[in-house]
Structure 1
Amino acid sequence: MANKKVNKTKLLERNRDPYHGIKVFIGFFMSIVFIVPIIWMLFVSVKPNGFTTNQPLEWFIPPFTLFNYWNLIAESLIIRWLFNSFIVAVITTILTLIITSLAAFAISKMKFRFRKSIFLFFLIGLMIPGEATIIPLYQIVKSMDMIDTYAGLILPMIASPLGVIILKSFYDGVPKELIESAIMDGCSYFKLYYKIVLPLAKPAMAAICIFTFIGSWNNFLWPYLSTLSETLYTLPVGIPVFNSAYTQAYVLPMTANAVASIPVIIAFFIFEKQIVRGISFTGIKG
């Protein structure tokens, strides 16, 4: 009965919305705009190498072959680039979660001098575009001999002012009575962080985890500047380098793009609910 009432309520809300049909049409149109290039990429990636045509529909009809994928793996370092992207994204995400959660907890729940000034510093850091810090960041990494290393790829990317701000605002919502009672029971700050505050912050942590991983996976500028050898390239850097050798061909570049895209597409279908919740939680639209 409860489900029927909920369904009836949703139907009434849809009937009351005069723009419901327009919203559905726009959503359907936008989904087509995004899905068609992906479908075209997948079909082109399984055409015979060297295939060309002036008729767009011929890309979607046989013959098809999977030999391009084996040829791509044999002739390029794409598996290595895939591994590099995964390792860099995972380690960057883990370190970002640890550092941002600890920093946000200290600013929110620990009383010390210049606490508000430090939080203001994070707000200012959020307003500065990342491109403005590239040159000094590169000079610092170079002076520490971390160019063309995994450390040079990972460590400069773990600073996340947005993560600190999101978690700080979430920690501020934890009831003071809960914190005070835990301290009166002899709970240290670390136990307070680990056993009480952190479990309550799972939605915020999940949102930061998702966006940090996606941002690291898609990051091009810093890996491009900080790597010299092809064995350390990530996918956003390696794919354009590989495609530059096939300026007149379609098939192998599309195969490379498919290999780079398929893991992300699979991950999206697996974590679709978490990604949508993360977008809703942070209030980010786009």
Structure 2
Amino acid sequence: MVLVIQSRRKMTPGKMAALMAAAFLAVWVIPFAWATATAFQSETDAAAPKVTWVPPSGFTIDAFVKVFQDGNIPLWTWSSFYTSAAITLITLVISSLVAYALSRIDFRGKRVLMGVIIAPIIIPPPVLIIPLFNQMVALRMIDTSWAIVLPQVIHPAMVFVLKKFFDQIPRELEEAAVMDGASRLRIFTQIVVPLSRPILAAVAIFVFIGAWNNFLWPFIATNDNSLLTLPVGLQTIKSAYGIQYAQNMASALLAALPLIVVFLFFQRQIVTGFATSGPAGT
């Protein structure tokens, strides 16, 4: 009984947080490790009923070779990259300008407009599929890159995040710039944007990841093989022999690999951007 009480006393908040972090890490790492191990197995070993981390016939890259032979991975990767980059750039421009206007400019109906902009957050994206498709058909954009890009550039959540950050920037900086004759646009580009680089980087990364992972809308918006994004293109690689577990896992790893690289290189910007409560932390 005494040992239990002492162990409870020794359980500090820091240790509790570390244990929770380790638990969450295990929940993510174990499935990823299993998918990786399966991708490097032969189809026979991957489909075997006996669960094993080390296949009897050893590891192989046959699944990856098959995926590259049956699909145009470089073209689909490039398509995913430039559409995701275009979506990210346009989203940053639109969201930052709207957020700055809502944060700094007082006008009639501002609260109503803010509510209208934020309300779509609660609308499930699949609900908008048919209206967006009809709109793209009317604009004759189906089977073009614009059909993939334009419907994904509106992010109400990012507007809300950026507005909250802009609210933290001292107005005295802008008032001093106004006294020096600076225009509203110059204040935004030369004062607000440099102070907001952490949150802008975080928003850019999240938008890029979301655009890269989006499967449903690119799948509906285009049938042109040269315009297929990587997640959509990988799903076109089918086999006549039923479910190919190794190939499916290899495809999933190929689609996730660029995002893993992005996160490893920019994880500091992600954490800093959303942990920063104001320009003092930039």
**TM superposition score normalised by structure 1:** 0.83
Q: CA deviation at 1:218?
A: 1.3
Q: CA deviation at 1:88?
A: 1.5
Three-state SS of the structure 2 residue aligned to 1:56 is coil
C-alpha RMSD of the superposition: 2.6
* TM-superposition CA deviations, 1:221-253 (whole Å, max 9, x none): 211221223332223323333256553322222
Task: Say if 1:242 and 1:253, in contact at 8 Å, map to a contact too.
Answer: no
**Cα separation, 2, equivalents of 1:244 and 1:276:** 41
Structure 2 unmatched ranges of 5 or more? 1-8, 278-282
Q: 1:116 to 1:23 in 2, by over 3 A?
A: closer
The percent of aligned pairs where both chains have the same amino acid is: 32
Label 1:161 to 1:222 Cα distance change in 2 as closer, same or farther (>3 A). same
1:271 aligned to 2:266? yes
Q: Does 1:247 find its partner at 2:242? A: yes
1:131-188: per-residue Cα shift (whole Å, max 9, x none)? 3322212111110011121000001110111122222222222222221111111101
8 Å contact from structure 1 (residues 81, 238) kept in 2: yes
By how many angstroms is 1:37 displaced?
A: 1.9
Q: Give the counterpart letter for 1:233 in structure 2.
A: L
The count of corresponding residues between Structure 1 and Structure 2 is 269
Which residue number corresponds to residue 216 of structure 1?
211
CA shift for structure 1 position 23: 4.2
Q: 1:31 aligns with which of 25, 36, 61?
A: 25
TM-aligned CA distance change 1:81 to 1:191, over 3 Å: same
Contact 1:147 1:227 in 2 (8 A): yes
CA contact (8 A) 1:179 1:192 kept: yes
Q: Distance in 2 between matches of 1:191 and 1:31?
A: 44
Cα separation, 1, equivalents of 2:167 and 2:64: 51
Shift of 1:79: 2.7
Q: Tell me by how many angstroms 1:22 deviates.
A: 4.8
Q: Aligned partners of 1:57 and 1:49: how far apart in 2?
A: 14
Residue in structure 2 matched with residue 205 of structure 1 by the alignment = 200
Query: Which residue pairs with 1:11 in the alignment?
Result: none
Q: Which residue of 2 aligns with 1:148?
A: 143
Structure 2 counterparts to residues 106-125 of structure 1, below 5 A: 106-125=101-120
Aligned partners of 1:93 and 1:213 also within 8 Å:
yes
Q: Which moved more, 1:125-134 or 1:239-248?
A: 239-248
2:50 is aligned with 1:55: yes
Q: CA separation in 2, counterparts of 1:58 and 1:117?
A: 56
| Alpha-carbon separation, structure 2, partners of 1:245 and 1:259 | 22
AA partner of residue 116 (structure 1): R
Conserved 8 A contact 1:92-1:155: yes
Q: Which residue is equivalent to 1:7?
A: none
Which residue identity is paired with 1:265?
Answer: I
Rounded Cα–Cα distance in structure 2 between residues aligned with 1:279 and 1:104: 16
* 1:32-111 equivalent positions in 2, closer than 5 A: 32-51=26-45, 52-57=47-52, 59-60=54-55, 63-111=58-106
Equivalent-residue separation in structure 2 for 1:191 and 1:143 (angstroms): 37
Cα displacement (A) at 1:114: 3.5
- The 1:82–1:247 alpha-carbon spacing in structure 2 relative to 1, beyond 3 Å, is farther
| Residue matched to 2:185 | 190
Q: 1:276 to 1:173 in 2, by over 3 A?
A: closer
